[in-house]
Structure formats: structure tokens, C-alpha cells
A and B are shown apart, each in its own frame.
Chain A
Amino acid sequence: MAIFDIIGPVMVGPSSSHTAGACRIGYIARKLLGEDPKEIRANLYGSFLTTGTGHGTDRAIVAGLLGMKPDDMRIPRSIEIAKERGVKVLFGEAKLKEAHPNSVQLTLTGNSGNTMELIGQSIGGGRINIAEIDGIATNFSGEYPTLIVNNEDKPGLVAQVASMLSNQGVNVATMQLYRNQRDGMAVMVLECDQQIPRSGIEKLRASEGVTKVTYLNPEDEK
């Protein structure tokens, strides 16, 4: 473990998993949505649901979705801030089966109408895992530059993505492939060691069979 995971992080209390991790889920979710949300539905599960209020989990998630980082002192007032900005916020109970005890299911609508549904898990020490996006299972931390490609489940798409990354000199750290059914819709999640230039991402967006490309750059959050 890095020494600044031992002395640090600087964070708003009281809990690294229930407050800092919750905020980070919101923060990464906003990045994945690609814009400010105008409507947030946060359904809590497990320990997030039972002890969330006392830990400020609800406020931390909303704070992250408003673009605040875990050390932002405005976290306790985030729900009021959302109201001031005209963001609609709803909380509920998530009906999940055997999910991680610190899970939240987010249903988001962005300012320009983008929608996204995801499940985030706070796995301890402020670290998180994005476990599902738009109904398809995923598994990534948001700590690396992450490329998420939704595409039709047909031959050649993985090769296209791989060759784009190779042309840009980007090394793949982890790669996961999922699909909802054969010949249906698939999703690739690639965590990379380097940032992916915008041109590469635009090229992918224009590719046949690719329905959506989401790029998460963790750099500007530090």
C-alpha cells in the first residue's frame, strides 16, 4: 500500500468507505455521464442503506455527482447545493441480489438529456468499483484512464479498438468484454496506462457497429 494511503487521503469524514468512497462513486458517475446531471435517482443498498444517513453517504454521493471530490468541504451541504442548481434528487432503496454491502444504484439524466444507469460499490479505504453500466456487468476502479465501448456483438470490434490504442501508443492494463446475449449488444472496458488522445476516441465513435464510447480520464480529478 502506498504511504499516502496510510497517511491520507485528506477527506471529509466520517468514513472512508461510506463517505469518501460514496463521493468518489458519484464523481466517477458524473464523468461517465459526461455532463452535469439534472436528475439524480440514488437507490441505496446494504450498509449504505442502513447506516448511510449517519455517515453522510447520501450527501457524499450527490456531492460527487455535482463534481465535488472527497475532500470538498461543501459535501455536508451538497443536497442544498443541488437544489440551488435546480438538480432533482431522489433517494430510494435498491432491490439488488447479493450485491456488495456498500452499493448504490444510480439513475442519471444529464443536462443535455444523456441518461445512464450504473451500480457503484465502495470497497474500502475510499476505493471503488463500478460494477454495472446500463445493465451490463463491468468491473473497474476509475483510477486508470478507462475506455468503455458499447458495440454490436460482431467480429472485428475488439481488433479495431486494440489497433487504435496501439497506433496511439497506449498500453492496456486490463481488458474485459461482456455482452447481454449472442449477436446482441456488447461492452468492452479497457483500463490503460496512458491517457487516450481525443482523436483516437473520436475515430472509434465514428466506427461502424460502435454505439457509444465513454472515456474516463482520472487525471483532472487530482
Chain B
Amino acid sequence: MVYHSILDILKLCKDTNLSFWEVILQADMESRKVTREESYHTMESMYTAMRQADQNYDKNLRSSSGMSGGDGEKMRAFNESGKNLCSDFTALAMEKALKMAESNACMRRIVAAPTAGSCGVIPAVFLSYEDMFESTRDEIVHALFIAAGIGAVIAENASIAGAFGGCQAEIGSASAMAAAGLVYLQGGDENQMVQAASLALKNMLGLACDPVGGLVEVPCIKRNVAGTVNAISSAQLAMAGIQSAISPDDVIDSMYRIGNIMPYALKETSEGGLATSESARKLCQKKTGE
């Protein structure tokens, strides 16, 4: 079972009468020559590692640059006050996205999904879903397979590396992956899953990768929140039956073409955008002055 596009996956689902996640699982079994149990167990262990990383968040940790840490706790306290206008689920997801991305900046153990810089989005959506709604561990693992399938197509036809495609390739990909998985958890069908992924990715097209000091901190950490909320809203659009006017594979191809013409200065080189702002210069000075 081999796929090279979103359309391939949908066709395989139809031809084999297997669900989306099952197609991704079987393709993995074939390509790596592993058993069903091995593939399933590996994905489950990724989820366990995400859960542990979330639980290991330490509000007192600061990154060695001094730029990051503590915002996840601020979000938690604000959510606790009941003032967050978002639903309890979305509020929790925002908090978890910050916590995971901050943990990453502070050299904690995380799961790259698809990258370390975008590691907050997928766990934020899936862990929060498991916490807030009655979903089984199996359903969450299925959702992760779906997310991985979307990510694999993006990696093949565009890129998941900021150095090649800018932040659209990292947070954009993570957001599309999470959106598709969330639709599955909400009971949507295959078409709705890929619509959610398209809608989420479209919203992130063109996003620059311009990190301050070359570090995975500013703007990466807070952008994990943007990717999370975008995934949730895109999934809701898809669940409402709203379609993306551009097909999923065309959106991915567009991301690839945008990445190709994106200036070098905005591809993780820290030679443009936020990285060369006056505020960034001051932050970097402060860092080296210590």
C-alpha cells in the first residue's frame, strides 16, 4: 500500500474499504517491514511520550537564552480564572501548546511533530481532546496515524523543514495534521479530514521562519498556539460541511511553490523579518551581555 498524495490516500480508502488511519498503518507496515503490532505500538509510544512531556512541564524553567519560559503557567492561571473566551477545550489546548513549546526551548524531552519547533500543536489538540471528551486511547492513536499520513504527503510533495519552506512548512504542516486528526476524533468522514487539513494549511501559507538569534523560541513558541487554534477552527469548518475551494494536494503544491520563491532571509537564517528587528537586536545584546 503506497501513497504519494492526499488523493492516493482517499482512493486507497475507497478501493480497500479501509479507514484513513488503517491505510497509513498498513503502508507503514509494508514500507518498514514491521508487524501491525510494532507499528501500532510505536505510534502509541509517541503519544505516551507526548503525555509525559506535558506532565513534566516545569513553570520555573527558563531557556538558556533567557527569552522563554513561564508563559504556559500564565495561560493555565488565566484559564483557571474562567476569563478565557474560548471553549474549555480550546483554552486547554492553548495552554498545552505553550507548555510543550516552552519545554522544548528549555531542553526537555518532546516528540518532534513534525519538527521540534512545531512540537506543541499536535499534542495540544489531541491531549486536550482526551482530557475533555470521552475518547479512547485507541481513537487518539488512530488520529495520530491520520496526522502522520497528512504530514508524510506534505513532506514528500513540499517540505516540513523551515530551512526549505519557512514556518508554513513547520507550524503550517503541524496545524494541517492536527486538524485532520481532530475531525476524526469528532466523528467526521475522510473527506472532512482532508478538507480540515487543506483549510488549516491554506491559512498558514507564506509564513516566514525568522527566529530571533536563530533559536527555536521567538516567535516559534507562541506560533504553536496559533497553529493549534487554527487547527481547531479549521476542523470546525470542515465538520460544518464547509469545503476548501482549493484541493488538498493543490494546497500542498502551493506551499511547495511558495517555499521555492520565499527569500533565503526568511528560511531559518535569521537574516530577515523578526530576527533583524530592533527588539531582536536588543534581546540578543542582552543575551551576550550576561
Contacts and interface: CB of A to CB of B under 8 A. Distances in A.
Interface string A71-83: 1010110000000
A159 interface: no
A50 B287 CA distance: 13
Nearest to A47: B214
Contact of B144 (A7, A14, A59): A7
Interface string B148-159: 110110011000
B149 A13 contact: no
Interface string A1-45: 111111111111111100110000000000000000000000000
B111 A7 contact: yes
Contact of A6 (B63, B107, B151, B163): B151
B113 A6 contact: yes
A59 B213 CA distance: 19
Contacts of A19: 107, 116
A178 B109 CA distance: 39
A14 B155 contact: no
B12 interface: no
B109 A10 contact: yes
Contacts of B31: 2
A54 interface: yes
Nearest to B65: A54
Contacts of A8: 42, 46, 111-113
Contacts of A7: 43, 46, 111, 113-114, 122, 144, 147-148, 151
A6 B109 contact: no
Nearest to A4: B42
A76 B107 contact: yes
Nearest to B144: A7
Contact of A14 (B27, B63, B148): B63
B32 A14 contact: no
B179 to A, nearest CB: 15
Given A8-B113, A73-B109, A14 B216 contact: yes
A4 B156 CA distance: 14
B116 A1 contact: no
Contacts of B149: 3
A15 B64 CA distance: 14
A124 interface: yes
Contact of A11 (B32, B42, B109): B109
Given A50-B214, A51-B215, A54-B214, A13 B113 contact: no
A15 B116 CA distance: 6
A2 B32 contact: yes
Contacts of A1: 152, 155-156, 160
A6 B116 contact: no
Interface string B91-121: 0000000000001111111111111110100
User: Which 6 A-B residue pairs are closest in the complex by CB-CB distance?
Assistant: A13-B104, A51-B214, A6-B151, A3-B148, A14-B216, A54-B215
Interface of B: 24, 27-28, 31-32, 42-43, 45-46, 49, 63-65, 103-117, 119, 122, 144-145, 147-149, 151-152, 155-156, 160-161, 163, 177, 213-217, 287
8 contacts: A3-B43, A10-B49, A10-B110, A12-B110, A13-B119, A14-B104, A14-B107, A54-B64
Given A3-B148, A15-B117, A47-B214, 9 more contacts: A2-B31, A3-B152, A7-B122, A11-B109, A12-B107, A12-B109, A13-B110, A14-B104, A19-B116
